[in-house]
Structure 1
Amino acid sequence: MNAYEEKVLEELKIWEIEMCKRPSLWNKATKSVQTKINEKIPQKVHDVITGSMKQMIKATLIGSKYTTKRTIKFTADLRERDYKFQDRLAFYRKTAAVEGAGTGAGGILLGLADFPLLLGIKMKFLFEAASIYGLDVKDYRERIFILHVFRLAFSDPHKRKEAYENVVHWKETITKFPEHPNSLDQLNWQELQQDYRDHIDLIKMLQMVPGLGAVVGAYANYHFLDDLGQVAKNCFRWRLLTDEKNKRNIIKKHPY
Structure 2
Amino acid sequence: MDYETKIRSEVENWKRKITKRSSMVKRITEKAQGKLNQFIPEKAHQLITESIKKMIQTTLFGSDFLTKKRDTSALSLEEKEKLIKEKLAVYRKTAAVEGAGTGAGGILLGLADFPLLLSIKMKFLFEAAAIHGYDTSRYEERLFILNVFQLAFSSEEHRKKVLSIIENWEQEKVHLMDVDWRTLQEEYRDHIDFVKMLQLLPGIGAVVGAYANYNLLEQLGETALNAYRIRLLDNSLKKIDTE
Using the size of structure 2 for normalisation, the TM-score is: 0.85
Match of 1:136 in 2: 135
The SS at the match of 1:208 is: coil
Structure 2 gaps of 5+ residues are: none
Q: Would the alpha carbon gap of residues 246 and 114 (structure 1) be closer, same or farther in structure 2, given more than 3 Å must change?
A: farther
The SS at the match of 1:74 is: coil
* 8 Å Cα contact 2:152-2:219 kept in structure 1: yes
In the aligned structure 1, how far is the partner of 2:89 from the partner of 2:134? 21
Question: RMSD over aligned Cα, in angstroms?
Answer: 3.0
The residue type paired with residue 142 of structure 1 is E
The SS at the match of 1:158 is: helix
The SS at the match of 1:135 is: coil
The residue type paired with residue 232 of structure 1 is A
Match of 2:188 in 1: 196
Match of 1:206 in 2: 198
Match runs of 1:13-32 below 5 Å: 13-30=12-29
Aligned length: 238
In the aligned structure 2, how far is the partner of 1:247 from the partner of 1:136? 21
Report the alpha carbon displacement of residue 221 of structure 1 after superposing the two structures with TM.
0.4
Q: Would the alpha carbon gap of residues 57 and 205 (structure 1) be closer, same or farther in structure 2, given more than 3 Å must change?
A: same
Match of 1:112 in 2: 111
Match of 2:219 in 1: 227
The residue type paired with residue 222 of structure 2 is Q
In the aligned structure 1, how far is the partner of 2:111 from the partner of 2:84? 30
The SS at the match of 2:63 is: helix
The residue type paired with residue 194 of structure 2 is L
The residue type paired with residue 234 of structure 1 is N
* 8 Å Cα contact 1:126-1:232 kept in structure 2: yes
Q: Would the alpha carbon gap of residues 57 and 168 (structure 1) be closer, same or farther in structure 2, given more than 3 Å must change?
A: same
Match of 1:180 in 2: none
Matched, 1:63 2:63: yes
Q: Would the alpha carbon gap of residues 114 and 20 (structure 1) be closer, same or farther in structure 2, given more than 3 Å must change?
A: same
In the aligned structure 1, how far is the partner of 2:51 from the partner of 2:91? 24
Match runs of 1:40-79 below 5 Å: 50-61=49-60, 62-66=62-66, 68-71=67-70, 73-79=72-78
In the aligned structure 2, how far is the partner of 1:91 from the partner of 1:206? 24
The CA deviation string for residues 90-131 of structure 1, in whole angstroms up to 9 with x for no partner, is 000001011101111112111100000000000010000111
Matched, 1:237 2:195: no
The residue type paired with residue 55 of structure 1 is K
Point out the more displaced range, 27-36 or 114-123: 27-36
Match runs of 1:36-185 below 5 Å: 50-61=49-60, 62-66=62-66, 68-71=67-70, 73-177=72-176, 183-184=177-178
Structure 1 gaps of 5+ residues are: 178-182, 249-256
Q: Would the alpha carbon gap of residues 16 and 153 (structure 1) be closer, same or farther in structure 2, given more than 3 Å must change?
A: same
Using the size of structure 1 for normalisation, the TM-score is: 0.81
Q: Taking every aligned residue pair, what percent have the same amino acid on both sides?
A: 51
